[in-house]
Amino acid sequence: MKLSRFALPLLMLVACDANAADPPRNTQELYREHCAQCHHNDRLGAMGPALLPENLERFSKKDAAEVIAKGRPATQMPGFADKLSPDEIQAMMAMIYAPTATPPTWSEQAIRESQVIHHPNDKLPSKPVHDSDIMNLFMVVELGDHHITVLDGDRLEPIHRFPSRYALHGGIKYSPDGRFAYMASRDGWISRFDLYSLQMTSEIRVGINTRNVAVSGDGRFVMAANTLPRSLVVLDANDLSLVKIIPVVTPKGVTSRPSAVYTAAPRNTFIVAMKDIPEVWEIPYNDKAKPIYTATVHDFQPSSGEELPVAKGPFPIRRIELDAILDDFLFDQPYHHLIGASRSAPSGQVINLNVGRKIASIDIAGMPHLASGIIWPYQETQVMATPNLKEGEVTVVDMKTWKTIKHIPTLGPGFFMRSHENSPYAWVDVFSGPNKDAVHVIDKATLEIVKTPRPAPGKTSAHVEFTKDGRYALLSIWEMDGALVVYDAKTLEEVKRIPMKKPSGKYNVSNKINRSSGTSH
């Protein structure tokens, strides 16, 4: 069973573990054959999520059976109705929802003991060992053989390639100076890579199933979001040593899986989205920063005018209660607003972070992928645009009025949308379905599709990223015999192809650390 690292964390196919009653031998064999590669022999998660009762609380047995039989839209989770009988599916359902005798855990001691120092900081060079511009480097994740290629964005040539941990997830993040890269694997490993010396410096395992990491705007801390155990783990960015474990639990004892953690650098905070409770958490990391919880934006003022309360102590938690669970979201550029959507709600929400409450609803139906949304100036306003994981359309929203101004029809559901401040175009893939080989180019001034390249007919085209100056757009052919296809971002003509093993995300240092409005942060 195969699952994209971008797939939603719904269950796939599952089998027994050592703590549960022994299932029939054939079920164990089916799991090893179809599931273990993505979900680990003990169901602790790898490329796919951990397959344990704790992960299934939001899903009914009926929904689970349907996913096993038919697959899941907008992911690489296939259906198995042609390989498994109805009785086999039902037997596996019983095992999925049966509690284990001993819940899997990952303790503070386990975290500390897992730390590996490959190359101490005092042994690292003071200058790059290569002549490439650090700010225009890309790190390209190759899912096909679990490697990362470091690509020179000026020469458009690889300068280094190295093995990564299995199934990286959540994108690569950089230190504020661009020197160090931080990455998370689905099985909990956090890695720190030096772009000067092109070598891994340190690693640590923070959990059993990890969503992603974020790096503080001052470069001091890394925060990892775990779905198993349900926790946030704060690390020292210099060597990844453990600083603090924050259980994800409300004052009433309700726990949740965090869906992701982000850095709001202008606010000196981490922002954490939740999967199981209608809350967003804001966690300050800079104890010397000025107060940030004041109402200074134009569209909402609290009646008292006082600062909003925040819990005391190291990494205090500010809990913002919402109308509904937000499955994903994006921020405006100054990080005053969080725009989020729930896949079970008919509209999106706009949350003013300064005052800590919802201020508007947005007309976004289907399954908008706001985490891949982008922003650009349009006429007398700014707009945000998002692809949709279920509907064949891009939704464009006015960020002054929060009204949807256009639905741009596409050839199918899309996963990634990207642009650059120096480019007149926005690119959005189709990603799944019969037109997965297509990618649309949208004119940001007219909101019309002006070109639809199909660089590899029949093969998945996905995830565009730009060089730091916006001159070139790099597109992934998401296949084992894949490639990066380089386009001239103005003429939209192909420039070259760089062969790679199922390249997925590619992350430009400058665009990430400068928070380009055309890419995810």
User: Is 9 domain-assigned?
Assistant: no
pLDDT at 36 over 90: no
User: Is 92 domain-assigned?
Assistant: yes
| 46: CATH | 1.10.760.10
| pLDDT tens-digit readout, 249-278 | 988 899 999 989 999 999 999 999 998 999
> Average pLDDT for residues 104-114, to the nearest whole number?
91
Which residues does 92 contact at the CB level (< 8 Å), separation at least 6?
Answer: 13, 14, 15, 27, 30, 68, 84
User: Is 50 domain-assigned?
Assistant: yes
User: Is 51 domain-assigned?
Assistant: yes
Q: Report the pLDDT value the prediction gives residue 366, as an integer from 0 to 100.
A: 72
Cis upstream peptide for 229 (omega within 30°): yes
Q: Report the pLDDT value the prediction gives residue 21, as an integer from 0 to 100.
A: 45
Q: With CA atoms as reference, report the closest residue to 228 among 248, 251, 201, 244.
A: 248
> Average pLDDT for residues 48-75, to the nearest whole number?
69
Q: With CA atoms as reference, report the closest residue to 485 among 469, 470, 465, 468.
A: 465
> Average pLDDT for residues 430-435, to the nearest whole number?
93
Structural domain count, the chain: 1
Residue 284's Cα: distance from chain center in Å? 21
User: Is 434 domain-assigned?
Assistant: no
pLDDT at 309 over 50: no
Most confident of 27-41, 324-338, 383-397: 383-397
- Domain limits for position 63: 25-97
From 103-107, 212-216, 483-487, the region with the lowest mean pLDDT: 103-107
Q: DSSP character for 60? A: -
pLDDT at 41 over 60: yes
**pLDDT-derived band of residue 427, with 50, 70 and 90 as boundaries?**
very high
| More confident: 45 or 352 | 352
Residue 215 and residue 508: Cα distance in Å, rounded? 16
Q: Report the pLDDT value the prediction gives residue 85, as an integer from 0 to 100.
A: 86
Q: Report the pLDDT value the prediction gives residue 49, as an integer from 0 to 100.
A: 60
pLDDT at 51 over 80: no
| pLDDT tens-digit readout, 488-503 | 999 999 999 999 999 9
| More confident: 83 or 21 | 83
User: Is 90 domain-assigned?
Assistant: yes
Task: Provide the mean pLDDT of the chain.
Answer: 85
Q: With CA atoms as reference, report the closest residue to 50 among 175, 187, 174.
A: 187
- State percent of the chain over pLDDT 90: 63
| More confident: 98 or 220 | 220
Q: Report the pLDDT value the prediction gives residue 17, as an integer from 0 to 100.
A: 40
> Average pLDDT for residues 34-50, to the nearest whole number?
65
User: Is 266 domain-assigned?
Assistant: no
Q: Report the pLDDT value the prediction gives residue 310, as an integer from 0 to 100.
A: 43
Phi-psi region of 356 (alpha: psi -120 to 50; beta: other; left: phi over 0): left
Q: Report the pLDDT value the prediction gives residue 115, as an integer from 0 to 100.
A: 97
Q: Report the pLDDT value the prediction gives residue 243, as an integer from 0 to 100.
A: 96
User: Is 279 domain-assigned?
Assistant: no
Q: Report the pLDDT value the prediction gives residue 13, as an integer from 0 to 100.
A: 35
